[in-house]
Amino acid sequence: MPSSSRISRRRFIAHGAAATLGATAFGRVPRVRAAEEFPTHPLRMIIPYPPGGAGDIVGRLVGVKLSQVIGQSVVIDNKGGGAQVIATELTAQAPPDGYTVFLCSTTHAINPSLRKLPYDTLKDFTPITLVASSPLVFVVHPALGVSNIQELVAYARKNPGRINYGSSGPGTGGHLSVELLCSMAGVKMTHVPYKGAAPALTALLANQVQLVCTSPLPAMPHVKAGEIKALALTSAKRSALWPDIPTVAESGYPGYQSTLWYALLGPANIPAPIVARLHDAMVTTLRSPEIADALHKQGAEAIGNTPAELQAFLGEEVQRWGGVIADAHIVSTE
């Protein structure tokens, strides 16, 4: 006869095995099956801009193709305002089921150094992929009398603070791109913020400011007309759209890089199989000829890197822009 202690042990093991099987049957299997079947209903893509802007255009281009690839509608949800904080917080609070994604931009990496945030920029989100990247361009009024970055820096060095440069506001990509050059070159220029990129470009055309770093798309028609001069692009390499314009990096400042980028994130803790599904669908979307061509016409390059690469990139961007903001003593006006 087996002892009572052995019977108790066998019963304990049996009960434990049953509990494990139960957990598998009612917990893990449905979760795996849910990941395999994802998505079963439409996705929500939060865009932190009002309709019609560059970020909205990129999001809608990608959303239409992504819906075809993934087999479900992608509903665009524009949540502009608050320097992207409103849209970002909504994303952080969404269920981590893969059905809410967020098209953030460079501002996402700039915000931690400018304002107190209701979320952690790096910890409260699931990286999916870097969607696209677009350079900015340094453009000057012809009256300044400079034709390249070296001459711009030489003038600024001889005339500290005399160059007024416009931007679409404190802490924006155009603002920080100029400050990054100033930091690397050891010169001082005077920032004049406007309520958008268009007013800043208008001020440049009127010679109310002498320099603007902005998107090439609205600036290039004026460059071709001879109204302003293009000095350099902010990307690491030359653009296929504007191959004759050098980069800041090749103009004497190796390592300089400042781009307007868009990345797809979700709330933290999305299950890995669903992240993989979203990532693969996005890469397929970005590699499709029609999307690559459409982004190219917007002055952007489709990327499609891995979630790990995106997370590392975000960390580098937060650190880099934090250094620029600290060096330039930039303080948010909000």
Q: pLDDT per residue over 60-113, tens digit each?
A: 999 999 999 999 999 999 998 888 999 999 999 999 999 999 999 999 999 999
Q: Is 101 helix (H, G, I), strand (E, B) or coil?
A: strand
Question: How many structural domains compose the chain?
Answer: 2
CA angle, 331 then 113 then 262, to 5°? 115
Domain boundary among 251, 274, 309: 251
Would you say residue 13 has pLDDT above 90? no
In a domain, 81, yes or no: yes
Q: Is 77 helix (H, G, I), strand (E, B) or coil?
A: strand
Q: Which domain CATH number covers 87?
A: 3.40.190.150
Euclidean distance between CA atoms 274 and 32, whole angstroms: 10
Euclidean distance between CA atoms 119 and 320, whole angstroms: 20
Euclidean distance between CA atoms 72 and 271, whole angstroms: 19
pTM of the model: 0.81
* Domain ranges, residue 300: 42-133+261-328
Task: Report whether 66 contacts 282 (CB < 8 A).
Answer: yes
Question: Per-residue confidence at 334, pLDDT binned at 50, 70, 90?
Answer: low
Q: Omega into 39 within 30° of 0, i.e. cis? A: yes
In a domain, 22, yes or no: no
Would you say residue 116 has pLDDT above 50? yes
CB atoms within 10 A of CB 226: 8
* pLDDT (mean) for 260-265: 96
Task: Report whether 89 contacts 118 (CB < 8 A).
Answer: yes
Task: Report whether 172 contacts 208 (CB < 8 A).
Answer: no
In a domain, 1, yes or no: no
- If we measure between CA atoms, which residue out of 325, 326, 304 comes closest to residue 129? 304
Would you say residue 185 has pLDDT above 80? yes
In a domain, 333, yes or no: no
233 and 290 part of one domain: no
In a domain, 19, yes or no: no
Euclidean distance between CA atoms 150 and 179, whole angstroms: 16
245 and 183 part of one domain: yes
In a domain, 30, yes or no: no
* pLDDT (mean) for 142-165: 98
Domain boundary among 201, 219, 251: 251
In a domain, 12, yes or no: no
Q: Which domain CATH number covers 200?
A: 3.40.190.10
194 and 213 part of one domain: yes
In a domain, 75, yes or no: yes
Euclidean distance between CA atoms 100 and 274, whole angstroms: 12
- Which of the two residues, 256 and 6, has the higher pLDDT score? 256
